[in-house]
Structure 1
Amino acid sequence: MLTSATLCALFPLLSLAHADVVARFEDVPECMRYFYQGKVPEWGAATPGVVRLCQRFVNRYHFATLYDTNQRIAVYSAYRFQPSNGGGREKQWFVEPQLVNLTWQAEMKAAYWLSKDHPGVYLGERQALNEDYTNSGFDRGHLNPNGHHAVPSRNATFTLTNVVPQNHKLNQNAWRIYESHLTNLFQASCSHSYVLVGAVPSEDNWIVKNNVKRVNIPDYLWNAYCCVDNNGRPVQSGAATARNTEVNLVEELSLDGLGKFLQQFTNQPMGELFHNNCKA
């Protein structure tokens, strides 16, 4: 018979079994479907303060995020492209309850309503809040774009753990055009498309609120994709980077080229972003 002490010790482990904050993506089969051939990138894994989020909305997962709780921006989001089925933009921004308290609900929730559930509790210690972006001069730039999904996954992209402070001109012009280019490519050439979109944080450039450094303003955005046929065989891959400034330019690269680009920002081995670098 399990004693009450043993049950108390086991409860945190049991409560995390279906949580959106997980110790390893590999422990959640439903979350692993966003990584081609089950390959989780090594990139960013050693970053201090990172957590792994299986992004839950309407009681199911929609994408995965490696999130830096110190910089309060994502290292990357991993998703599978879906043709859009229409639907508008969310009118509210979600936060992750378990980044406040692991015993709270697993599903993302609008900060207003989460505050109502837990009055007096500050929600922004380990994640960005909507007010951080207000009057900041930066867009809430989606990493995993809402336009690459059907409802309800489209709605799930409106969590603040999926956005970074993005230069308005870049977000509304070159980066948006590149996302549209990928939409056309994926629909024309791929049966399934696996995508990673990330940010390279700046050394010391922040959205500051009340003299507190709240959200890191990344120097670069990057994208990588792996397209496969109905048999799971790679048919096309590619990547891109963009400086997060009004230069408003997206540079397209190979996966190898992106790997070399990202390697300059870490002392850790870069590793592959996709299984076998998305090669047949």
Structure 2
Amino acid sequence: MLTSPPVFTLLCILSMVQAEVGPNFKECSEYFYKDQVPALGVAGTHICQRYKNRYHFATLYDTQHRIPVYSAYIFKPGNGQGRPTTWFVEPQLVSSKWSPEMMYESQCPDKNKALLGKNQALDEDYDNLHREIHRGHLNPYSHNIGESAIATFTLTNAVPQVGAMNSGVWRVHEVKLHTLFQNRCSKAYAVVGAIPSANNWINANRVNVPDYLWSAYCCVDNNGKPIGSGAAWVENKKGVKVVEGSLVQLVQFLKSGDIFDKNCK
């Protein structure tokens, strides 16, 4: 149902630091419950999202559609205030000689737009869309704090999301999860993904506008024992409602394998 081609196995610019982009999530497996990667049956580019010399979450990235397949993170209660206005890009999707840390386009060694945007979305892809299409976070800014919150502002964590849906029912869903995670879970593992469309794009077929967004969570207690789970999905258009259900129902909807180990049971 979801497709994306693998890209390069890249090395980081500092020989003693593990690469951020590579063939697996070995360096940031902590963001997956019991280190299990969702069994979606798709290939993609594995990004351990690195900012200020540490990893903050994990993203499987689709370089063909130039959107993430999903981002996986551990909830850290934030207040959603002081949001950045500038978005990062992933340097190692451009060159293995570039920094392993996310950076702004203006910081890249080469400013050639064709080079920068070959495997990923750029800020200019969202220009002139006004409020109709947002840079929609998968890992929400409000579910993080401090540097982890800032790190969510990378275009490898964003999809073109219908503005009315993003600021409406999906925002309500994110707030609901924030409250649930904060009040019920000692630790909450979350995975949020997107299903690309067949023929809906922005900026002359450069960045795919997904048909659906989905989310899944697994709550554990202080001993790491599962105490709750759930899922949701929504069409990426105006006038829709978020469908809430179980992890099993989400797996059926995605026609995939388990999102979490043993469905978080």
Aligned partners of 2:11 and 2:19 also within 8 Å: no
Q: Deviations over 1:105-144 (max 9, x none)?
A: 0000011221xx2244620000000110112331000010
1:113 equivalenced with 2:115 (yes/no) = no
TM-score (norm 1): 0.86
1:271 equivalenced with 2:257 (yes/no) = yes
1:228 equivalenced with 2:223 (yes/no) = no
Q: In 2, Cα distance between the equivalents of 1:104 and 1:180?
A: 36
Secondary structure, in 3 states, of the residue corresponding to 1:203? coil
- Say how many residue pairs are matched: 252
Deviation, structure 1 residue 15: 4.7
Alignment of 1:194-213 (within 5 A): 194-209=189-204, 213=205
Pick from 150, 153, 158 the counterpart of residue 153 of structure 2. Answer: 158
Q: In 1, Cα distance between the equivalents of 2:182 and 2:203?
A: 40
Secondary structure, in 3 states, of the residue corresponding to 2:174? helix
Q: Over aligned residues, Cα RMSD in angstroms? A: 1.7
TM-score (norm 2): 0.91
CA distance change for structure 1 residues 85 and 205 in 2, over 3 Å: closer, same or farther? Answer: closer
Partner of 2:121: 128
Pick from 28, 33, 36 the counterpart of residue 36 of structure 1. Answer: 33
Q: In 2, Cα distance between the equivalents of 1:16 and 1:275?
A: 32
Partner of 2:19: 19
Aligned partners of 2:105 and 2:111 also within 8 Å: no
Structure having the larger proportion of residues in helix: 1
Deviation, structure 1 residue 155: 0.1
Q: In 1, Cα distance between the equivalents of 2:30 and 2:82?
A: 26
Deviation, structure 1 residue 12: 5.0
Name the amino acid aligned to 1:180: V
Q: Deviations over 1:202-253 (max 9, x none)?
A: 01111133xxx10000000000000000000000000000000002311101
Q: Deviations over 1:143-189 (max 9, x none)?
A: 10000001110000000000000011110010000000001101111
Deviation, structure 1 residue 19: 1.5
State the percentage of identical aligned residues.
Answer: 52
Q: In 1, Cα distance between the equivalents of 2:192 and 2:175?
A: 14
Aligned partners of 2:192 and 2:214 also within 8 Å: yes
Alignment of 1:85-96 (within 5 A): 87-96=81-90
Deviation, structure 1 residue 16: 9.2
Q: Unaligned stretches of 5+ in structure 2?
A: 1-9
Q: In 1, Cα distance between the equivalents of 2:178 and 2:118?
A: 35
Deviation, structure 1 residue 86: 5.9
Q: In 2, Cα distance between the equivalents of 1:69 and 1:16?
A: 27
Alignment of 1:222-261 (within 5 A): 222-261=214-253
Q: In 1, Cα distance between the equivalents of 2:45 and 2:81?
A: 30
Q: Deviations over 1:245-275 (max 9, x none)?
A: 0023111010000000000xxxxxx221001
Q: In 2, Cα distance between the equivalents of 1:81 and 1:105?
A: 27
Alignment of 1:143-222 (within 5 A): 143-209=138-204, 213-222=205-214
- Between structure 1 and structure 2, the one with the greater Rg is 1
Secondary structure, in 3 states, of the residue corresponding to 1:94? coil
